[in-house]
């Protein structure tokens, strides 16, 4: 169980480190530092810069659409809290975790925009961390609260994409 949530059944006691934007910010800082520390290995690759912008913007759009669906369903967007609804509409038809997918797209986009190619291993590390620290516990809460409906949704919708 993530640190700080042991005595909080709805996860209300989660610490600020247990928020995905903090982990994303940390990875973005590491990518930027990598670019600055290894300038010869961080070339300006023209078209990759624009691909980076497109990926980052797609990530932001995906996150906003997912949050809108969750607000519409009147359920929490805060990790470690008990959801009041299972959201399977909109972008949740494509990914069970569109907000985290958006985070990964933002990280990928930033790395490409900055030309910080040595930082590319941060992407799978971030995906692994988010999966272990947030997605697996969230799926357990969804399974506990929406058993058959969650199983049906998870059979037709992949975890990431």
pLDDT digits (tens, 9 = 90+) for 108-148: 999 999 989 999 999 999 999 999 999 999 999 999 999 99
Residue carrying the six token digits 């005595």: 7
Mean pLDDT of 39-57: 85
Comparing 111 with 2, the larger pLDDT belongs to: 111
- pTM of the prediction? 0.88
Residue 29 pLDDT exceeds 90: yes
Identify the DSSP state of 57: H
Q: Where are the domains of the chain?
A: 71-161
Q: What is the percent of the chain where pLDDT is above 70?
A: 87
pLDDT score for 57: 98
Burial 15-49 (b: 16+ CB within 10 A, else e): eeebebeebbeebbebbbebbeeeeeebeeeeebe
Ramachandran sector of residue 14 (left: φ over 0; alpha: ψ -120 to 50; beta: rest) = beta
Check: CB of residue 113 under 8 Å from CB of residue 57. Answer: no
* Cα dihedral 71→74→79→83 (10° resolution): -150
Q: At 12, is the pLDDT very low, low, confident or very high (cuts 50, 70, 90)?
A: very low
- Tens of pLDDT, residue by residue over 57-78, are 999 999 999 999 999 999 999 9
Query: For 14, phi and psi rounded to 5 degrees?
Result: -60, 140
Q: At 15, is the pLDDT very low, low, confident or very high (cuts 50, 70, 90)?
A: low
């Amino acid at each position: 169980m993530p640190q700080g949530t042991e005595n909080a059944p709805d996860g209300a006691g989660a610490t600020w480190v247990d928020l995905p934007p903090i982990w994303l910010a940390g990875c973005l800082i590491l990518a930027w530092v990598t670019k600055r520390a290894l300038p010869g290995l961080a070339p300006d690759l023209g078209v990759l810069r624009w691909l980076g912008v497109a990926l980052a913007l797609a990530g932001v759009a995906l996150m906003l659409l997912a949050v809108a669906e969750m607000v519409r369903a009147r359920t929490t967007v805060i990790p470690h809290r008990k959801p009041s609804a299972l959201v399977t509409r909109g972008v949740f038809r494509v990914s069970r975790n569109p907000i985290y997918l958006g985070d990964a797209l933002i990280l990928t986009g930033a790395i490409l925009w900055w030309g910080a190619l040595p930082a590319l291993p941060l992407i799978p590390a971030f995906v692994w961390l988010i999966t272990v620290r947030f997605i697996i516990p969230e799926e357990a809460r969804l399974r506990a609260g929406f058993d058959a409906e969650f199983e049906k949704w998870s059979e037709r919708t992949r975890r990431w994409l």
